[in-house]
Every structure is written in structure tokens, then in C-alpha cells.
Amino acid sequence: MESSRGRVVVIGSLNVDQVVRVADHPKPGETITGEFSGLFAGGKGANQAVAAAEAGADVVMVGCVGADDQGRAYVARLAGLGLDVGQIEVSHRQPTGTAFITVDDAGENTVIVVAGANTDVGAGWPRSFPELTEADVVVLQLEIPLGTVAKAAELAQEAGARVVLNIAPYAELPPDVLALADPIVANEHEAMALADSGAGAGSLLMTLGANGAVWDGVGSPAEAVAPDLIVDTTGAGDAFVGALAAALAHGASREEALQQAQIAGAEAVTHWGAQRDGELVLAGRDAEPARGAERAAHGPPGRADSADAPPDV
């Protein structure tokens, strides 16, 4: 392994998962009662940032939360885990992103995601884009506007940083943006959709679940997990990406990075939730948000000022 050590700069979503348990899911038009299970930290961006920090990386989280208790609690959690939260902005027109999750007694779930403040990520770029070095690894996913993803990849490339693009949830990006990623990380379904789009990928890392992963022909077997230890597979993919980025930022080879990512992905299925001990505790409305520069947003709800709007693909 080389001696170089960069940071992992994750640009992505922060969602608060509101979980409710019910005996059975309601039928259309039906009202039922449920039991509130709590608020939990989620969002692919923050999940991957936490995983990278757990893997020993110096992590910068770039994102946006609302000016609300959920956003304050989430940013405080990330700061407590040692992440640099100075690049998390606060939107005054959008609430913190939320996933409304309903789980029945059979374990089946329904999920409704409201992007909220995640749609404001990148509104101040390039003015407020984080300073990068050639040793840094920039991690992107697709739970923020696609134009923001494209602009982040371009700015990272200009700075000489490495771009890791987790193309999930799948959406089409321009070929010139895909070409900036080393690698694109995709599961089998996402890789198939990418192939069907005809866009191709300069470097593709395909995760295969229990069959391991393959990065441009370099294979890595999955880490075995005893069936009785498997609790929840929700966070496995994000843990894989975060640990991969951490290893690359530390100068690991492809083989070493794959191995460390496989270990992290396997460990993630042994605890509940996308983040270990991820329940959020609200500190109250008088708590100050732990953040960088708060951005005063203007204009009608749901619309960014034209000068600061995230770029479209």
C-alpha cells in the first residue's frame, strides 16, 4: 500500500427515516393505526460517509438539511462520529429529506421518500464547492439532482481528485460524466440498465451479492456471513462503497480496496439499519445547527433562485 493519504469527500443525500410498524399494510382508502418505531439516520450519501469514517478515513460530508430539529440532530450525529460537517448547508425553504417507512408483521415494507433539502445540494457551486486535492476521493450517488452530480464530477476532475460514482438509484447520466468515474459502482440490475442505455463505463465495479464483486475483470469473493448472524441487508451496499472509498483514499490497490469493501459490506448485515446505532435524538428547537455557512434561501418553496439553482444534465 502506498503512503499517500487523502480524504473521502462524500457529496450526497441526508435522509431521516421515520419508521412505523403495522400489523398489515392498509388497503387503498383504508385508515389504520400503527406504532412509531423512531427516527433513524439514512440517505445514501450520509450512509456512505459514515461507512468511510468507520473504515478510518478522514471524511467531509457535503449535503443539505432543513432548518429543523431533524436536520440539527443529523448534523450533530455526524459531527459526533468525527466527520467534517462544515460543508453541510441549511435550507430555509425545504425540510430535511425524509423516508417514510412502514413495516408490517411479515417484515414487508413500503417506502415513500421526500427529497426535501437534498434538492438544494450544489445551489451555491462553484463558489462554495469544497477545495480538493489530488489525493482526495469524491463519492457520488444519485439521490441528489443529476445536474449536481454531473457538476461535482466535473469540478472534482478539474482538481485532480478521484471520482467514485455509485449509480444508485439508477438514472441515466451523460457519457462524458460517466467517463470521469473510476470506478462506477453498480449492482447487477444497475449494471444491466447501464449496458442497456448504451452509455458504457470507462471503469465498472459490479457488486454481485453473495457472489462477490468484479472490478474491470478483477474479482473478489464475498465475505461469508453465517445465516443466523444476518439481521438486515439494508446498509450492505453503502457500507461497501464507503469502505472502498476509504481504502482508495489511503492508497490501496484495487485488490486491497475490494477486499476491505467486502469485509465492510458483510459486517453491515449483522446490525439493524443502514447506520449502526442510527437512531436520532432530537435536541429541541433551540439547538444551534452544527454546520458551515448557513445559506439563506429565498423564493417560493421548492424552487431555487435561478442564479444558484443546481445545474441540469
Give per-residue pLDDT as tens, 251-272. Answer: 999 999 999 999 999 999 888 8
Q: What is the pLDDT of residue 241?
A: 98
Residues classed as catalytic: 238
pTM for the model: 0.86
User: What is the band of 210 on the pLDDT scale with cuts at 50, 70, 90?
Assistant: confident
CA distance 283 to 294: 19
Backbone φ/ψ region at 56: left (φ over 0), alpha (ψ -120 to 50), beta = left
User: What is the band of 311 on the pLDDT scale with cuts at 50, 70, 90?
Assistant: very low
**The sheet that has 59-66: what strands, in order across it?**
84-91, 59-66, 8-11, 137-140, 162-166, 184-187, 204-207, 213-215, 218-220
Contact predicate 214/261, CB 8 Å: no
